[in-house]
């Protein structure tokens, strides 16, 4: 049995979703909420062949640990697993898995939603999407104002 809260990993091979979910469960839990982020077969109708994920790995791990600790403190959930995969992923494969275990379902749902939304805004991981007819680096929402910087002398 793990004593430390939070299973945080960045991996280069397939994420073992079922094993991770099973491992997180404990007797005190009444709910386990799972977010399984998978590669979609299109973006706005353009057919996707695969995605390539890359990360600023050390910083991403630190950010993921920070989010996990904050989720436990904010929502009162018991434990969290957060695993992100890098490299080339095909349609249907899991790119990110978030599992939240809690005594009650409301906290599990809330924490899980907050974790994936926060990860997409602040954890330094990028994806390049390759279509049948070209590729693009997907760019998400702008960084939150407290993180964004601007070249000096620019209007903000």
Partner 1 sequence: MRVRLLYFGVLKELIGVSEETVELPEGTMVGELLHILRGRTSNPSMSNGTDEGLWRSLAVAVNRAYGSSEVVLHQDDEVALLPPVSGGYYAYSECGE
- Measured CA to CA, the distance from residue 81 to residue 7 in angstroms comes to 4
Residue whose pair of structure tokens reads 């979609």 in the numeric block: 40
The residues binding partner 1 (CB under 8 A) are: 43, 53-54, 56, 58-59, 62, 120-130, 133-143, 146-154
- Measured CA to CA, the distance from residue 42 to residue 65 in angstroms comes to 31
- Measured CA to CA, the distance from residue 124 to residue 64 in angstroms comes to 10
CB of 152 vs partner 1, minimal distance in Å = 3
CB of 100 vs partner 1, minimal distance in Å = 21
Complex with partner 1: residue 1 or 148, whichever CB lies closer:
148
CB of 7 vs partner 1, minimal distance in Å = 21
- Measured CA to CA, the distance from residue 53 to residue 85 in angstroms comes to 8
Complex with partner 1: residue 71 or 123, whichever CB lies closer:
123
Complex with partner 1: residue 22 or 117, whichever CB lies closer:
117
């Amino acid at each position: 049995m793990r004593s430390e809260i939070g299973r945080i990993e960045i991996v280069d091979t397939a994420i073992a979703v079922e094993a991770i979910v099973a491992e997180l469960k404990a007797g005190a839990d009444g709910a386990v909420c799972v977010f399984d982020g998978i590669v979609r077969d299109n973006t706005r109708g353009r057919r996707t062949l695969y995605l390539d994920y890359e990360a600023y790995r050390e910083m991403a791990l630190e950010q993921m640990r920070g989010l996990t600790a904050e989720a436990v403190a904010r929502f009162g959930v018991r434990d969290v697993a957060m695993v992100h995969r890098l490299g080339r992923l095909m349609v249907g494969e899991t790119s990110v898995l978030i599992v939240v275990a809690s005594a009650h379902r409301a906290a599990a749902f809330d924490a899980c939603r907050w974790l994936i939304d926060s990860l997409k805004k602040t954890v330094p991981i990028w994806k390049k999407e390759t279509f049948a007819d070209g590729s693009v680096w997907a760019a998400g929402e702008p960084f939150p104002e407290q993180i964004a910087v601007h070249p000096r002398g620019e209007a903000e």
